[in-house]
Amino acid sequence: MYKKIGGLLGKYGEVKDNYIKQNTIFFLLSYGDEDHNIKVEVNVRILMPDIKEHYEVKEYLGISMLAGKKDYLFASKLSALTDRRSLAMRDIYDMWFFAKNNWDINAEVLKARTGKTIKEHMADCIPIIKAVKDNEILRGLAELLPSEKEKAWVKTHLRKEVVFLLKNYQSVLK
C-alpha cells in the first residue's frame, strides 16, 4: 500500500517526505514552490466498522478524494489528545479551530475511541491543555503558522481560548 500510494502521488507532484509511523502512512506532496504542500496521511488502524459513513467526497485541484466529515474530525482530535504517546500541539490548534467554528462532535466516534461521553472526555482534555508550558506550545506548530503575529497569538492565547471553548461545549451538554 505504501509504494502504491507513493507512486500515485508522484504523478501529481513531488513527494518531499514520506514515512510510516505507528498507525499512519504519511506523504508530503508539493505541486511547486508557489503552492501549499499537501499532507496525505493514511490511517491503517481499524477504527470503526462503519468508517465509510464518516467520510465524504471533496475535490481539490480537480482531484476527488475522501475527506473526514467535520464531526468525525473533531471527535478524532479530541480522542487523539489522550491517545498519543506524546502531545501534538497541532491537535490543540485544530480543536481551537473546530470549536471556534462551532463544529459538531460525533459522540458515537468519541465513545468508541475513548469509552467516554463528550462531556467526560472534555473533562480529561482540559487539564492536559492547561498543563502545556509556554515553551512547548509552538513545538511542531510554528512552521505551520504563516506569520510572527500568529505565532505570538498562539503562544499567549491558544491554551486559554481552547479551554474556554471546550468549557462552553461542556456547559451545553447533558
4, 72: one domain: no
The dihedral sign for the CA sequence 76, 81, 85, 86: positive
Q: Is residue 144 part of a domain?
A: yes
Q: Distance between the two ends of the chain, CA-based, in angstroms?
A: 43
The residue length of the chain stands at 174
How confident is residue 58, by pLDDT bands cut at 50, 70 and 90? Answer: very high
32, 86: one domain: no
User: Is residue 22 predicted with pLDDT exceeding 80?
Assistant: no
User: Is residue 132 predicted with pLDDT exceeding 70?
Assistant: yes
Residue ranges of alpha helices (H) inside 31-173 are 70-83, 89-100, 107-114, 118-130, 148-172
Q: Is residue 54 part of a domain?
A: no
Q: Is residue 57 part of a domain?
A: no
Least confident of 11-15, 40-44, 53-57: 40-44
If one counts the domains in the chain, the total is: 2
| Rounded-to-10 torsion of CA 139, 121, 83, 54 | -100
109, 34: one domain: no
39, 80: one domain: no
Q: Note the Cα 42 to chain centre separation in Å.
A: 13
Q: Is residue 63 part of a domain?
A: no
Q: Please tell me the pTM assigned to this model.
A: 0.73
Q: What is the pLDDT of residue 114?
A: 92
103, 145: one domain: yes
Phi, psi of 77 (to 5 degrees): -65, -40
85, 125: one domain: yes
User: Is residue 45 predicted with pLDDT exceeding 70?
Assistant: no
User: Is residue 126 predicted with pLDDT exceeding 90?
Assistant: yes
84, 129: one domain: yes
- Cα–Cα distances (Å) from 28 to 51, 69, 83, 97, in that order, read 24, 22, 24, 22
Q: What is the pLDDT of residue 64?
A: 92
21, 74: one domain: no
36, 93: one domain: no
Q: Is residue 83 part of a domain?
A: yes
Q: Is residue 61 part of a domain?
A: no
114, 159: one domain: yes
Q: Is residue 58 part of a domain?
A: no
Q: Note the Cα 70 to chain centre separation in Å.
A: 11
90, 146: one domain: yes
Q: Is residue 105 part of a domain?
A: yes
The rounded distance, in Å, linking the Cα atoms of 33 and 21 is: 27
**Domain ranges, residue 110:** 68-170
User: Is residue 38 predicted with pLDDT exceeding 70?
Assistant: yes
Contact residues for 59 (Cβ-Cβ < 8 A; gap 6+): 65
Q: What is the pLDDT of residue 46?
A: 58
112, 27: one domain: no
